[in-house]
Structure formats: structure tokens, C-alpha cells
């Protein structure tokens, strides 16, 4: 029987929902830019749908094993080829949907309302869990507004969607194509800014692009952007204020991701090089990446022949230095008994971009830690790796791999790590 750590369940919800929320907001903005004057709020709605489509590749987990589904995520459905081809099909389906008045049917309305309320519940739960992660506990300053927004959303759906006879929707086919293209195309571009890796060149190459400039969850990038779009939606489609607010939201997001975060990336790299020189670490390569929920505290990982070197730096720190500085042995010799061409090992090397160390786990089973995602804290004490895998022999006697996020020592320890991270974000390191 699989026992799920409550922390892991909530953490997975936070990562998936907040990241999806960012893509939905970006997609909604794309829809507004392309067709807001023709379709009004429906442009935002369909843009949000387009921004969600690439992430439907996570459904592969129901049809295949963990290695294949993890490889497929951010694969072909995040590629430039998919962005070029899919909009034509989705545009045709959308035109057919409106031409046959399906959107006016009671059954469809009930289904759509249920989906929106379910999504809101998931997003609200994720947002309310953030204060818990940073050690503050459940915050009524977050809980009460989300409850109020939920009540407002339910009343809005009831009065203006369920009880309302929806007007006819007409837009040229190429308008729908442009809307879906921009909302789908921008999705992998944003994903490339994170450290997970996005296979934008599929099916021609499985090379994973990762620029490592923003965290997969960054509320400061998403929330102001979303609020400006919500305000824009209050105005009629031809009112200048609507366009002004929407473009202001786009400017905020592009400025945050494209300028602010990129400038931090340059500085984080410079300071990490400086720290490595001070520590006399002769490395082959290194990478830096912001820690979860923010762009202030960054982690750096450098590699030499036998070890990785890990440290944290915050832009509010008193000194320009990554500290504390941990040495993480590679222990790659533990893999000597595994055939180099074993599917699981090839997957782990590819997925982690060879930024991994190995630890004994239980018997022949090994723990392989993807160091691109750093540590849950500022040191390796407590085996607190963010993205560990188990490498083991399955019932067929073949080497296999699966994520091992459920072996955290305790929920309390995880909360303490997030609390320390939050303190460093706010106050820096003395």
C-alpha cells in the first residue's frame, strides 16, 4: 500500500497548480491581445485554454510507466512543431463548437461550471498552503480573500453564465488560429525559463532547453499579472481602459521575467564564479537557479571530477558570496554494477543533465538526486534533496526508476527549511 506524505501531496499540488495558473494567466493575456476587441472575455477564456493545452501531456502517466511519462512531459506537446500545427485543429474545433451552439446547452454549462470551480478550489488550496510552507501556518489574510473570491466566482457563474442566454459568437477562422498559436507558443517559451528542461525541438531532438532564470512557482510574477487581467475584464471589449490594463499586465510580466529575472541571473552567475574562486574550486561547469517561490535567493551547483559544490546566495545578503557552501560527493562509482545502456540509468543521466549524485538506499536500491533542483534548505544535512529518484530492480529484474519525494524525514523539518528560506528572502544572510 502506498502511503503518501501529506507534505508531498500538498507540495505537488502547489507546484502543479501555481505553475498552471501562471500559464493560464499568460494564455489569457495572449487571447486578449489577439482577439479581445472581437470576442471580449471569451478571448481571455480561450487563451487560457490554449495556455493549458501543452501541459495535458501529464496525462501520459495514466497510460505508461513513470520513465516514459516523465520523458513525455515537456516533450512534443511543448515543441515548436506542435505550436505550429495544433492551432489549426483547435481553431476548427472551436468554430464547430460555436456554430452548433453547444456552448448554450445546459449540460455543457453545468460541466463547464464544475470544471472552473474545481480549478479554483485547487488553486486556492495551493495558494493557502504557501504560508504553511514558510512556517507561518494557515493565514486568515490569505484564506479570507480566497473564500471571498470563491463566493464571487460562484455567483458570477450562476448569474452571468448559467441563468443568462449567451449571445452568438462569431470570429474569423484565422483569428482563432492566431489566438491558439500565441497562447500555445508562449507556453514552452516560459517553461524554458525554468530549470526542468523543455524539449522545444521535438520530434527532431530530445535536447532540453533550460535557461534557469525564474522559479517554476513565482507569485510575484503571476499575481500582479493576473489581477490586471481581472480588472481589464471588467471593461467592455472596445473600451481603451481594457486594452491599457491588459497591456500593463503584459508589460509587468515581460519586465519581471525578461529583464528583472535575467539581470538577477547574470549577477548570480558572477557571484557564484567569484565564490568558487574564493573556495579554490576548479570546476568543469556550473549552474545557478532561483529557489522556489521567489527570485531573490538563488542556489548554485558546480561540478568537478569527484564532487558537486552547492551554495545559496540572496540579493538581500550582506556579502556577495554563496554561503553556506556544501561539498556533495558524486559517488558515481556506486553505479558500476549497472549496465551503462540500462534504460533507467540513461533516463536519469538525460533528465538531470548529469547533475546528479548517488547514495545507498536499501540493499541494491540506490537514491539518485537531481541537483538542478537544489536542496530543501541550505545544507545536505537530513538528506533533504528536492528531486530524488530511486534506482532499483523491478519485478522483471530490470533496472527501473521512480521519484522518491515521499521519504522526507518529517513535515516539520520541511516547514523549518521553508521558514529559513523565507527569512533569508526577507532579511538576507548576515
Query: Tens digits of per-residue pLDDT, 218-237?
Result: 999 999 999 999 999 999 99
Output the pLDDT for position 405.
Answer: 64
Which of the pair, 409 or 39, is modelled with greater confidence?
39
> What whole-number distance in Å separates Cα of residue 181 and Cα of residue 187?
10
- Closest by Cα among 231, 189, 227, 228 to 210: 189
> What whole-number distance in Å separates Cα of residue 177 and Cα of residue 180?
5
Output the pLDDT for position 166.
Answer: 83
Mean pLDDT of all residues belonging to the chain: 89
Query: Tens digits of per-residue pLDDT, 176-193?
Result: 999 999 999 999 999 999
pTM to 2 decimal places: 0.88
With 0-12 / 13-18 / 19 or more C-beta atoms within 10 angstroms meaning exposed / middle / buried, residue 362 is exposed
Give residue 87's pLDDT band: very low, low, confident or very high (50, 70, 90): very high
Give residue 170's pLDDT band: very low, low, confident or very high (50, 70, 90): confident
Output the pLDDT for position 136.
Answer: 67
> What whole-number distance in Å separates Cα of residue 349 and Cα of residue 362?
21
Phi, psi of 404 (to 5 degrees): -125, 40
Output the pLDDT for position 199.
Answer: 97
Phi, psi of 361 (to 5 degrees): -125, -65
- Closest by Cα among 5, 7, 77 to 416: 7
> What whole-number distance in Å separates Cα of residue 74 and Cα of residue 65?
16
Query: Tens digits of per-residue pLDDT, 52-86?
Result: 999 999 989 889 999 999 999 999 999 999 999 99
Please report, rounded to a whole number, the percentage of residues in the chain having pLDDT higher than 90. 69
Q: Is the pLDDT of residue 104 over 70?
A: yes
Query: What is the pLDDT averaged over residues 336-353?
Result: 95
> What whole-number distance in Å separates Cα of residue 315 and Cα of residue 252?
21
Query: Tens digits of per-residue pLDDT, 269-327?
Result: 999 999 999 999 999 999 999 998 899 999 999 999 999 999 999 999 999 999 989 99
Per the structure block, which three cell numbers stand in for 35? Answer: 482577439
Which of the pair, 114 or 406, is modelled with greater confidence?
114
Give residue 243's pLDDT band: very low, low, confident or very high (50, 70, 90): very high
User: Going by C-beta distance under 8 Å and a sequence separation of 6 or more, which residues neighbour residue 341?
Assistant: none
- Angle at CA 184, nearest 5°, toward 102 and 295? 130
Phi, psi of 176 (to 5 degrees): -65, -40
Query: Tens digits of per-residue pLDDT, 256-283?
Result: 999 999 999 999 999 999 999 999 999 9
Q: Is the pLDDT of residue 133 over 80?
A: no
Give residue 1's pLDDT band: very low, low, confident or very high (50, 70, 90): very low
Output the pLDDT for position 381.
Answer: 61
Task: State yes or no: cis peptide before 318, omega within 30 of 0.
Answer: no
Output the pLDDT for position 415.
Answer: 66
Query: What is the pLDDT averaged over residues 110-119?
Result: 88
Q: Is the pLDDT of residue 382 over 90?
A: no
User: Going by C-beta distance under 8 Å and a sequence separation of 6 or more, which residues neighbour residue 191?
Assistant: 54, 74, 78, 198
- Closest by Cα among 91, 88, 87, 93 to 184: 87
Output the pLDDT for position 413.
Answer: 56
Phi, psi of 338 (to 5 degrees): -105, 130
Amino acid at each position: 500500500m502506498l502511503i503518501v506524505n501529506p507534505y508531498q501531496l500538498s507540495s505537488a499540488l502547489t507546484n502543479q497548480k501555481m505553475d498552471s495558473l501562471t500559464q493560464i494567466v499568460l494564455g489569457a493575456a495572449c487571447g486578449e491581445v489577439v482577439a479581445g476587441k472581437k470576442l471580449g472575455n471569451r478571448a481571455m477564456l480561450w487563451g487560457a485554454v490554449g495556455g493549458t493545452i501543452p501541459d495535458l501531456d501529464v496525462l501520459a502517466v495514466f497510460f505508461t510507466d513513470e520513465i516514459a511519462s516523465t520523458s513525455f512531459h515537456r516533450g512534443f506537446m511543448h515543441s515548436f512543431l506542435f505550436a505550429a500545427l495544433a492551432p489549426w485543429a483547435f481553431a476548427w474545433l472551436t468554430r464547430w463548437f460555436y456554430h452548433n451552439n453547444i456552448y448554450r446547452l445546459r449540460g455543457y454549462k453545468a460541466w463547464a461550471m464544475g470544471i472552473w470551480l474545481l480549478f479554483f478550489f485547487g488553486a486556492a488550496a495551493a495558494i493557502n498552503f504557501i504560508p504553511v510552507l514558510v512556517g507561518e501556518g494557515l493565514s486568515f489574510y490569505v484564506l479570507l480573500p480566497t473564500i471571498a473570491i470563491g463566493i464571487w466566482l460562484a455567483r458570477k457563474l450562476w448569474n452571468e453564465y448559467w441563468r443568462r442566454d449567451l449571445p452568438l459568437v462569431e470570429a474569423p477562422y484565422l483569428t482563432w488560429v492566431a489566438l491558439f498559436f500565441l497562447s500555445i507558443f508562449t507556453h514552452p517559451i516560459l517553461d524554458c525559463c525554468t530549470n526542468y528542461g523543455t524539449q522545444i525541438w521535438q520530434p527532431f531532438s530530445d535536447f532540453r532547453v533550460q535557461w534557469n532564470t525564474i522559479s517554476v512557482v513565482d507569485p510575484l510574477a503571476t499575481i500582479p499579472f493576473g489581477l490586471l487581467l481581472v480588472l481589464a475584464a471588467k471593461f467592455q471589449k472596445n473600451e481603451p481602459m481594457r486594452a491599457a490594463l491588459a497591456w500593463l499586465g503584459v508589460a509587468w510580466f515581460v519586465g519581471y521575467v525578461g529583464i528583472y529575472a535575467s539581470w538577477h541571473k547574470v549577477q548570480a552567475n558572477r557571484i557564484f564564479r567569484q565564490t568558487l574562486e574564493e573556495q579554490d574550486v576548479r570546476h568543469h561547469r556550473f549552474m545557478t537557479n532561483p529557489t522556489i517561490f521567489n527570485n531573490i535567493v538563488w542556489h548554485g551547483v558546480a561540478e568537478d571530477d569527484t564532487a558537486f559544490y552547492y551554495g545559496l546566495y540572496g540579493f538581500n545578503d550582506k556579502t556577495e558570496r554563496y554561503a553556506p557552501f556544501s561539498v556533495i560527493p558524486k559517488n558515481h562509482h556506486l553505479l558500476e554494477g549497472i549496465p551503462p545502456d540500462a534504460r533507467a540509468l540513461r533516463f536519469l543521466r538525460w533528465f538531470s543533465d548529469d547533475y546528479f549524485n548517488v547514495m545507498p538506499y536499501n540493499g541494491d536500491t540506490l537514491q539518485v538526486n537531481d541537483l538542478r533542483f537544489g536542496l530543501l534548505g541550505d545544507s545536505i544535512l537530513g538528506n533533504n534533496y528536492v528531486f530524488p529518484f530511486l534506482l532499483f530492480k523491478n519485478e522483471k529484474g530490470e533496472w527501473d526508476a521512480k521519484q522518491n519525494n515521499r521519504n522526507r524525514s518529517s513535515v516539520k523539518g520541511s516547514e523549518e527549511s521553508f521558514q529559513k528560506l523565507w527569512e533569508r528572502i526577507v532579511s538576507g544572510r548576515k
